[in-house]
Structure 1
Amino acid sequence: MPEVIFPGPEGRLEGRYHAQKEKDAPIAIILHPHPQFGGTMNNRVVYNLHYTFLNMGFTVLRFNFRGVGRSQGEYDQGIGELSDAASALDYLQSMNQNAKHCWVAGFSFGAWIGMQLLMRRPEITGFVSVSPPANMYDFSFLAPCPSSGLVINGSADRVAPPADTRNLVEKLHDQKGITITHEEVEGAGHFFEDPHMDGMLETVRSYVSRRLTESTR
């Protein structure tokens, strides 16, 4: 497993990095759930998203936010974690300066951080937001949302109720020039426990592959 350590705002950050042989391969960073509730880069959803993007030809980086694993610093209410994500993207871009596409994928708390990163970094061309906790965090900063992307959640999510996710998507749908694709996995909970994980990953795979194909036409 290719372990990497790279500089973050509060010291080193620990990650896992897989590069493609093609120098212009698309790049993606994967963001993990809440650090104070056991979230790490080895969370099952994050781990599987990492390999889903890798198998689609992306160079991929996932990492631990500050204070998690070997990453230095302390939890910072999402403010510092956003800075960590920006540093991770800087690191990934520095190693892949010819990448034509840049994606961010996040799960739960990581989805909230990922959407904020999207607002700050115009080079991000697509996003995947898995189980965004619209009931816990304010997503009103997405005005307007700068990129098309996929929002995916489970119909039986008790952590982030589906109604809140639908409301979030409806607000994003009102914006011109972008397309927010929303998929709700029937019967799945917040963490996409089996047998729902494969279905969620297949939806991600199908969506991202379609976007990449459209961009090369």
Structure 2
Amino acid sequence: MLNETPIAFETEDGLLLSGRVVRPAAEISPRGGVVVAHPHPLYGGSMETPLVVALAQTLASAGFVVVRFNFRGVGESEGAFGGGEAEEADIVAAVQALGAQPGVPRDRRALVGYSFGAWVGLRALPRVQSVKAFAGIGTPLWHLSPATFTQDERPRLLITGEYDDISPPHVLQSMALGAAHVQVHTIPHADHAYSGEHTQTVGRLVRDFLEQVLLA
């Protein structure tokens, strides 16, 4: 049975953020650790977004310790929406909170983001060198350049949907072209919600990717 408990942690600018830690069953030693970042706060995104919850449960069931959290101004997290730039500090703090969890191997930590969470996560990636892999679902492509995907060689999985107009497959493929460390996967018939059967597909893809790059 998974073990889920509340967590609170502080950002570098002094805000207290709320989250949840989801751990594998007590008899299972953690295989790694993952931070999961949620969609856009101004459009209802939170750590309770169904895809975020499903990802946390899938990864914890596979043996990962997972921290999902609310960005500043969401739920019980202090502060106000910061346009994305301020939220980079939230990612940094969440990764530090993951590192403080007992039993999480130092060399097996990853960052996963959905929509806005993927966009902020990519921007924050240079500031979290303890993260060894990144997975983005429905990554918004506004204000991103190909260099965002190729600026370092840590493994990355970018998932989009055939009908995702926030992360158009042809644009994403073009931006990641030539980056050997970047995998792009398009889910047939999926849109930006990744609901129904697509939720399970996303979970399986992220789980398999992290097992491949962190546990090999």
Q: TM-score, normalising length from structure 1?
A: 0.87
Q: Which moved more, 1:146-155 or 1:115-124?
A: 115-124
Q: Are 2:20 and 1:13 equivalent residues in the alignment?
A: no
Task: Tell me which of 83, 93, 100 is aligned to 1:94.
Answer: 100
* SS of equivalent residue, structure 1 residue 117: helix
Letter in 2 for 1:197: T
Match of 1:116 among 119, 123, 133: 123
1:169 corresponds to 2:171: no
Structure 2 CA distance, aligned partners of 1:120 and 1:194?
34
Q: How many residues align?
A: 208
User: Per-residue displacement from partner, 1:10-30 (whole Å, max 9, x unpaired)?
Assistant: 421010112345666411100
Q: 1:204 is matched with which residue?
A: 206
Correspondence for 1:133: 140
SS for the counterpart of 2:86 is: helix
Contact 1:30/1:63 (8 A) holds in 2: yes
In the alignment, what sits opposite 1:36? Answer: 42
Amino acid at match of 1:40: S
The one-letter code of the counterpart of 1:146 is E
**One-letter amino acid of the counterpart of residue 6, structure 2:** E
2:163 alignment partner in structure 1:
156
Q: Give the TM-score of the pair, scaled to structure 2.
A: 0.87
Partner of 1:104: 111
Distance 1:131 1:70 in 2: 26
Work out whether 1:58 is the aligned partner of 2:64. Answer: yes
Counterpart CA distance in 1 for 2:71 and 2:51 is 16
Structure 1 runs not aligned, ≥5 long: none
| CA offsets 1:157-192 (integer angstroms, 9 cap, x no match) | 12332222222221xx34xxx521111000000111
> Matches of 1:103 and 1:144 in 2, distance apart?
17
Give the equivalent residue in structure 2 for 1:181: 183
**CA RMSD, Structure 1 to Structure 2 (Å):** 2.0
Q: Which amino acid letter does the alignment assign opposite residue 155 of structure 2?
A: S
SS at match of 1:46: helix
The 10-residue stretch of structure 1 (145-154 or 20-29) with the greater mean CA deviation from structure 2: 20-29
Alpha-carbon distance in 1 for matches of 2:197, 2:101:
36
**Which runs of no fewer than 5 residues in structure 2 stay unpaired?**
none
- Structure 1 stretch displaced more, 157-166 or 52-61: 157-166
2:30 touches 2:63 (CA, 8 Å); kept in 1? Answer: no
Question: How far does the alpha carbon of each residue in 1:35-55 deviate from its partner, in whole angstroms, 9 at most, with x for none?
Answer: 111110111111111112111
